[in-house]
Amino acid sequence: LAKTTQPISMDSYEGQEVNITCSHNNIATNDYITWYQQFPSQGPRFIIQGYKTKVTNEVASLFIPADRKSSTLSLPRVSLSDTAVYYCLVGAINAGGTSYGKLTFGQGTILTVHP
């Protein structure tokens, strides 16, 4: 499984755009990149998933360069409620969309949004 490296913590202010970068130098051809968010005392929540280029949904955008050795989760105009831990995960998914094995959660990035 590809190992991921993220910053341990980040600080931002309300209304700013936040970009969290994840390094995955050993990503394999079949690997997809998935991001989760976790609030204190809650289970993680799926945010976004992608393979290459850019993916956008109602919550965030995911930017993946051509070499796929890193990815950036972009949160537009954060609010206090975006304070959470953000996890970057890399795992293989076959053509049918099923993970070959399992998701491996790293330490994540603690994002703190200040007023």
Contact positions toward another protein, by CB under 8 A?
32, 34, 41-46, 49, 87, 89, 91, 93, 96-99, 102-108
Helices and strands counted in the chain (H then E): 0, 9
* Token pair of 8 as six digits: 């341990």
Distance in Å, CB of 115 to another protein, minimum: 27
* Chain-centroid distance, C-alpha 92: 15
Distance in Å, CB of 15 to another protein, minimum: 29
| Shorter beta-carbon distance to another protein: residue 96 or 115 | 96
